Amino acid sequence: MGIIKRQAIRTTALSFLGTAFGSVGRMIMPFFFSTAQIGLLNMLDSISGSFYSLFHMGYGLLLKRMFPHYRDEDKGHHGFLALGIMISLVGIILALSSYFLLEDWVLNSKSDPDGLLVAFSFLIPPLIFFRILGANTDGYVKMLYNTVIGTFFESFLMKLLMLIGAILAATYVIDFEQYIYLYIIAFLLPGIAIVTYAFLNAKKIVLPNRDLWVKRKEVSTYLLFGILGGASTSIVLYVDQIMLNNMVSLSAVGIYSIMFFATNLISIPSRNLRKISSVFVAEAWKENDLKEIEKIYKKSASNLLVVGMYLFFIGWWILPPALEFLPEYKEGLYVFFFLGIGRVVDLASGINSDIIESGPKYKYNTYLNLVFALLVFFTNLIFIPWIGLVGAGMASCISLVVINLIRWYFLKRNFGLGLYTPQFAKGILFSIILIAISTFVVIPVSHIWQIPIYFVVGSLFFVVSVYKLKLSSEVVDILDKLLIRIKLK
């Protein structure tokens, strides 16, 4: 078994377990933490995450583009570890300086009578410090063919610690303040561990190779595009929660974060498909095989639409009775709706960004991500003051629809890559029917029974419909094999 295969199996297993731990932890939090307390936890993550994304200084992109040419263990890889530390320290100085300049605006909340965010704001600077340093060092370690260490600490151990903390808080072993410190330790641990690992396992540590200064124009270009990519990521991932806190309340952030997490589960099946498909797309670009790229493009869109629509349909049907047990979250019902529709549209657009990123016009992917970030910022600026909490969900939905239309047009105009087929059109029509069913059909039983009934009935209806309408050839093939195995066909 090769090193890549071993690493892939281990990282996949750790990521899967981490996702499971994280999901359980998130689902039980609303039952024993207030919306403001959950809002505080997410604001600590969002504020530190936004400054980390803005100021990691593009080192990750520099590694991908240049490290393979300087790989030499006996020569300390020509100082790339030291270079990463230097770049990280510059980013940390800029990030902390910017944070302290913007602190009053960032921490401002219109409805935080207990001053929770201000009281725990002293935890944000160390989070920024170790998230930048840890992420850049993890990028370096990954280039040494070790993807397991970072995944273990960030995707597995961090989520496990958070789950353990949530269980301890739920059983009143620890209080909320103690949970916060455990939560922060879980965030800090990956950075500390990865930096320690990198230095302990370095055969030789040297200063950056002079050749890198000779190629400073090339280095600067990669760093610049990395910074732009980080800026767009920061806005897309975190600006909605920061603006909600600033314009509405910390409690609104708590409600929004739970709905955001729930709809984020819709995107999970796409991650592995994107990873696998992007490899084949990259190979097809080498041969300029546009027919193969279009084939992958169309299949990814059809398959992801089917999977995404199922998860949204079931979630949207089950959510109203589920919220009867969490009445303070009912305000987030249509946040889920708009965020979920946005996720489905994104899935239905296939691997458009991956095709652009691996193609000859790869720089446009960065430009389009910046357009997406600006869309997110300005739509939130318009809709949050107007509609409040639901406005943030609507802003995300509109931004996802618009950017995917732009990406579709870009691929059609520049490479002639089509997306829509009769099968895809049937999928869209079926999706509209599903939304109508899950919105208007109510089975008159108690709320606790509605949840399993909706799940079973909805799943059976969806599977039978997809099979009969042949909305996805891959799904139909899987069902055929299953029917043969259980001897129903």
Q: How many other C-beta atoms can be found within 10 angstroms of the C-beta atom of residue 220? A: 12
pTM for the full model? 0.86
- Helices 59-70, 80-107: crossing angle, 10 deg rounding: 180
Top mean pLDDT of 59-63, 234-238, 266-270, 426-430 is at 426-430
Mean pLDDT of 230-239: 80
Q: Which of 168, 276, 236 is nearest to 374 (CA)?
A: 236
Q: How far is CA 27 from CA 166, 200, 255, 262, 404, in A?
A: 10, 38, 12, 9, 30
Q: Which of 406, 291, 391 is nearest to 331 (CA)?
A: 391
Q: How many other C-beta atoms can be found within 10 angstroms of the C-beta atom of residue 405? A: 12
Q: Which of 312, 348, 332 is nearest to 439 (CA)?
A: 312
Q: How many other C-beta atoms can be found within 10 angstroms of the C-beta atom of residue 483? A: 12
What's the confidence (pLDDT) of residue 487?
A: 59
Who's near 194: CB < 8 A, 6+ residues apart? 134, 137, 138, 141, 149, 150, 153
Element (DSSP H or E) covering residue 114:
none
CA distance 429 to 487: 32
Q: What is the DSSP string of 378-420?
A: HHHHHHHHHHTHHHHHHHHHHHHHHHHHHHHHHHHHHH-----
* Cβ atoms 463, 479 nearer than 8 A: yes
Q: Give the pair of three-digit tokens for residue 51.
A: 């400054």
Top mean pLDDT of 23-32, 216-225, 319-328 is at 319-328
Least confident span in 173-182, 195-204, 393-402: 195-204
Indicate if the pLDDT at residue 275 is higher than 70: no
Q: Tens of pLDDT along 258-272?
A: 999 889 888 876 766
CA distance 363 to 356: 8
Q: Give the pair of three-digit tokens for residue 223.
A: 């760093």
Domain boundaries, the chain: 1-242
C-alpha 374 chain-centroid distance: 18
Q: How many other C-beta atoms can be found within 10 angstroms of the C-beta atom of residue 36? A: 21
CA distance 244 to 110: 9
